[in-house]
Structure 1
Amino acid sequence: MKILETDRLILRHQTVEDAAFMLGLWNDPSWIQNIGDRGVRTVEDARKNIKTGAVEMYEKWGYGFYLTELKDAGIPLGICGFAKRDFLEDPDVGFAFLPRYWGKGYAYEAASAVMEYGSSVLGFTRIAAFTSEDNEASGRLLVKLGLQFQRLIPYPGGQELVRLYSIDL
């Protein structure tokens, strides 16, 4: 199901048919370094992870992380959307793209559209985001999107601190 369309991109619900792409994204070294190892090693693992992750979020919250693809070619680039996490009061915006698509403005284009959607359609009045402490590129993009760094917070289940950002809409 298509959620958003920008000049160059389509953002749509993830489906189990996206398992091979998501397997590659989840196992990309940049994902593992900046987000973490999900332990997803097979296409079947990826199908299960999509069902228990993105699909359940869409059903429970009415939003989640959307597969982001090139409008003209239908080529998947990454994901962008929202999550509702127990350790944050507000929904958080997030994005992850394969490295070959970095530096082309796709993450900014997708995240800008997602944030507008969050405000105008989902009724969000505040959006959070977080990055690993050393993920400077994502931090710069969040600031470009209008979010402001708030503080370092502990990430649940570990010793790692993450950078928390937010914006009032």
Structure 2
Amino acid sequence: MKIIETERVSIHALTLKEDAFIFRLMNSSTWLKYIGDRNIRTKEDARNYLQNGPIKSYEAYGVGMYGVKLKEAQEFIGICGLVKRDFLDNFDFGYALLPEYAGKGLAFEASKAVLDYLAANRIINRVVAFTTENNGRSLKLLEKLEFQFEHPFDLHGEECLLFGRSL
């Protein structure tokens, strides 16, 4: 189901059919470096992630992590959207692209479209996001998306930086 369209990308609810894409994304070098190993070793693992992550979130909250598709090629290149985390008071806004699509403004384009959609439809009124100090691209993107630094926090022994913004 397509929910948003921009000049170069379309944003879709993820389904179990995206298992090969999720497998590829979650085993990419940038995912492993900045997000971490989620033990997605097979397409079955990817389907379990989709069922218990994004699909479950759509059912429970009406929102979740969405697939980002490059319109020109009609192929998924990343994800962008919301995750409900037990340790955060607000939804966590996140994004990840396959490495070959980084640095082209696509993460900004998709992220801005999702945030604008959430605000225009009054789905939620505030989001947070976090990253680490060594993830320069993510820090720049959060700044460009008008997130404000709130405070550092420890996540499993790693210092993270929490940002927030109203919608």
TM-score, length-scaled by structure 2: 0.96
Structure 2 alignment gaps of length 5 or more: none
Greater shift, 117-126 or 45-54, is seen at 117-126
Supply the distance in 1 between the matched residues of 2:53 and 2:2 (Cα, whole angstroms). Answer: 18
Supply the distance in 1 between the matched residues of 2:54 and 2:166 (Cα, whole angstroms). Answer: 25
TM-score, length-scaled by structure 1: 0.95
Query: 1:35 touches 1:132 (CA, 8 Å); kept in 2?
Result: no
Greater shift, 121-130 or 76-85, is seen at 121-130
Matches within 5 A, 1:1-169: 1-155=1-155, 158-169=156-167
Shift of 1:55: 0.4
- The residue type equivalent to 1:142 in the other structure is L
Deviations 1:132-165 (A, max 9, x none): 231111011000000011111122xx11121100
Supply the distance in 2 between the matched residues of 1:8 and 1:63 (Cα, whole angstroms). Answer: 22
Identical columns (%): 43
- The residue type equivalent to 2:160 in the other structure is V
Secondary structure in 1 matching 2:151: strand
Q: Structure 1 stretches (4+) deviating beyond 6 angstroms?
A: none
RMSD value, Cα: 1.1
Shift of 1:73: 2.1
Supply the distance in 2 between the matched residues of 1:115 and 1:83 (Cα, whole angstroms). Answer: 13
Shift of 1:122: 4.0
Q: 1:14 to 1:123 in 2, by over 3 A?
A: closer
Supply the distance in 2 between the matched residues of 1:101 and 1:72 (Cα, whole angstroms). Answer: 13
Structure 1 alignment gaps of length 5 or more: none
